[in-house]
A = this chain, B = another copy of it.
Amino acid sequence: MVQPLTQSQPPDGSSLSADASGDIPDAHPGKSLTLQTALPLDCGIAMEAVTIAYQTYGCLNAEKNNAILLCHALTGDHFAADPHPVTGKPGWWSNLIGPGKLLDTEKYFLICSNVLGGCMGSTGPSEINPETGKSYGTDFPGITIADMVRAQARLIDALGIDQLFAVIGGSMGGMQVLQWAASYPERVFAAAAIASAARHSSQNIAFHEVGRQAIMADPDWCDGNYALEGKRPVRGLAVARMTAHITYLSEAALHRKFGRRLQDRHDVTFGFDADFQVESYLRHQGFSFTDRFDANSYLYITRAMDYFDLAKDYGGVLANAFYGTKTRFLLASFTSDWLFPTSESRAIVHALNSVAAPVTFVEIETDKGHDSFLLDEPEFHETLEGFLAGSAYLKGLEISPKMAD
C-alpha cells in the first residue's frame, strides 16, 4: 500500500527540487518548492517566486490519505526529525518521529515545512529579493499565520494531496493548525493544536515587543539592513531569546533545574559575571540561538503571532471559524504553561463545542512549562497517540500493530 512519493512535476507547474539525488545544497539542505504563481498575502501584496523549504519522512500511500503536516513553532524549522544542519542537534520532534514511533514513518507520510518568513530556506527576510538581487531585510512584507498556512497549502497541492490526514503543531504550530482547520476545513481530517491559542494575548505581545525592541536597539541591526552591511545584531537577538526562553519554562522548572545554585564557584563574585547557573544557562541559550536564527525572521514571525486573532476574521466569534467543520480536534495544554495557559485552549474547546465539532481536550499535569510539547511528557504522548490511532481507525487507515494488541 505504501509507496515512495514520486517527485514529479507538481500539478500547478511549481518546480519541486528534492535531495533524493544526495545533492544537498550547503546553505539549506532538504527539499524545496518554488511557487510558479504569486502567493497572495494578507497585507495585500502578491508575492512572486516564493520558496518553501520542507522535509518529509515516510512515504505517501497510493490513496494519498496518510499525510500528516507538522507545523513548527516560532524558532523551529522543517528539520523535525533530522539533525539540525547548523547545530547538529536532533530535530525538535525526533523523539516522536520514526519507524514504530508515535509519528510512525512506516504508517504516515510526514511533511514539515519551514514557515514563510523563516530563515532555513523558505522565503524570508534573509533571502535574496529577486527584484533587487539583495537580501529583503525589512523590505520583506509583513506576514501572518494565515499567510504561512496559505504557503503550506500550496506545498500540499504540489505534493498532490487533497486532504491531510492530520495537521499537528505546538505553540505557533498550534496557531497554524487552527488556521488550517478554519481556512481549509475539507482538507484537514484531524487537527491537533498543542499549547496554543486562537489569539495572542496582551502579555505575549508585550514579551514579543521586548524581544523586537532588543533586536532593533542593537546598532548592528542597521535598520534591518545588517546583511548589506556585513553585520549581525547578535547581542540584541540574544537578549530577545533570553527573555523568550524564560517564558518557555516555568518557575518550578527553573527552580528544580537551577534554584540558586552557583556556576563553578563557591560564592558570589559581587560582579556581573554569571554567578548563578541560571544566568550561565540563559546566556548560552541566547548566544547559541544567534548561530541558527536570523534577527529579521524573529521580528517578522513574532509579529505574525501577535497579529493572530482567528475570531477577528470571523466576525469576532471564534466558533464561526469552525462552523460546519467535520475535522476532529485535539486540544492539549500543560498546567505550568503560563505563556499559553489552559484557559486559551479551553476557549477554543468552547468554540468547537458550540458548533458541535468533535473535540478532545486534555490538560497535562507537568511543571515543565510551555516547552512541554517538545519534551518527554508521557501523558501528552499517550494522548496524541490515542488521538491519532482513533482518527486513523475512522479514516480507514491500516491499524498499527500497537492498536491491534
User: Which A residues fall within an 8 A CB radius of B?
Assistant: 42-43, 138, 141-143, 199-203, 205-207, 209-210, 212-214, 216-219, 235-236, 238-239, 242-243, 246, 249, 251, 254-255, 257-260, 268-272, 274-276, 278-279, 282-283, 286, 299, 303, 306-307, 309, 338, 341
Contact = CB atoms under 8 A, between A and B. Distances in A.
Given A142-B271, A238-B213, A251-B201, A206 B282 contact: yes
Contacts of A271: 142
A62 to B, nearest CB: 42
Interface of A is mostly: helix
A227 B286 CA distance: 28
A268 to B, nearest CB: 6
Contacts of A43: 270
Nearest to A143: B270
Contact of A269 (B142, B216, B274): B142
Given A246-B203, A251-B202, A209 B309 contact: no
Contacts of A260: 199-202, 205, 309
Contacts of A141: 270
A279 to B, nearest CB: 5
A205 B278 contact: yes
Given A141-B270, A207-B246, A213-B242, A202 B299 contact: no
B246 A206 contact: yes
